[in-house]
Amino acid sequence: MVKIMEKIDKIKVENLSCFYGGKLALEALNINVVKNEILTIIGPANSGKTSFLRTLNRMNDFDANYARKGAVYLDDENIFYMNPEKLRKRVGMLFAMPIPLPMSIYENIVYAPKRLGLVSKKSDMDDIVKEALQEASLWNEVKDRLNSSAMKMSGGQQQRLCIARILAIKPEVILFDEPSSGLDPISTAKVEESMIELKKKYTIVLVTNNVKQASRVGDRTAFFLMGKLIEVGKTGEIFVSPKEKQTGDYITGRFG
* 204 occurs within a structural domain: yes
pLDDT confidence of 2, banded at 50, 70, 90? very low
pLDDT greater at residue 6 or residue 228: 228
In a domain, 194, yes or no: yes
Q: Tell whether 20 is covered by a domain.
A: yes
pLDDT one-digit tens code per residue, 103-145: 999 999 999 898 888 877 888 899 999 999 999 999 999 999 9
Q: Which of 145, 174, 171, 170 is nearest to 157 (CA)?
A: 145
- Looking at residue 182, its pLDDT comes to 79
> Taking the model in full, what pTM does it have?
0.91
In a domain, 4, yes or no: no
In a domain, 114, yes or no: yes
| DSSP conformation class of 59 | G
Does 7 score more than 90 pLDDT? no
pLDDT digits (tens, 9 = 90+) for 203-245: 999 999 899 999 999 999 999 999 999 999 999 999 999 999 9
31 has a pLDDT exceeding 90:
yes
pLDDT at 1 over 60: no
Instruction: Return all residues near 232 (Cβ < 8 A) that are at least 6 apart.
Output: 31, 220, 221, 222, 223, 238
| pLDDT tens digit sequence for 73-86 | 999 899 999 999 89
Question: Which residue range forms the structural domain that includes residue 43?
Answer: 9-251
- Count of other CB atoms within 10 angstroms of residue 201: 13
pLDDT score, position 253:
80
In the chain, how many domains are there? 1
pLDDT at residue number 5: 58
Is 8's pLDDT higher than 50? yes
Give the CATH number for residue 202: 3.40.50.300
Element of type H or E holding 115: helix 105-115
Q: How far apart are CA 214 and CA 253, in angstroms?
A: 14
In the chain, the amino acid numbered 97 is M
pLDDT for the residue 138: 93
Residue 247 confidence (pLDDT) above 80? yes
pLDDT for 83 equals: 94
Instruction: Work out the percent of the chain whose per-residue pLDDT is above 70.
Output: 97
User: Rounded CA gap, 69 and 26, in Å?
Assistant: 10
Is the residue at 2 inside a domain? no
Kindly report the average pLDDT of the chain as a whole number.
91
Does residue 148 belong to any structural domain of this protein? Answer: yes
Report the pLDDT value the prediction gives residue 147, as an integer from 0 to 100: 95
Give me the pLDDT at residue 256, please: 53
- When mean pLDDT is compared across 65-79, 179-193, 218-232, the lowest value belongs to 179-193
* 175 vs 186: CA distance, rounded Å: 21
- Domain contains 1: no
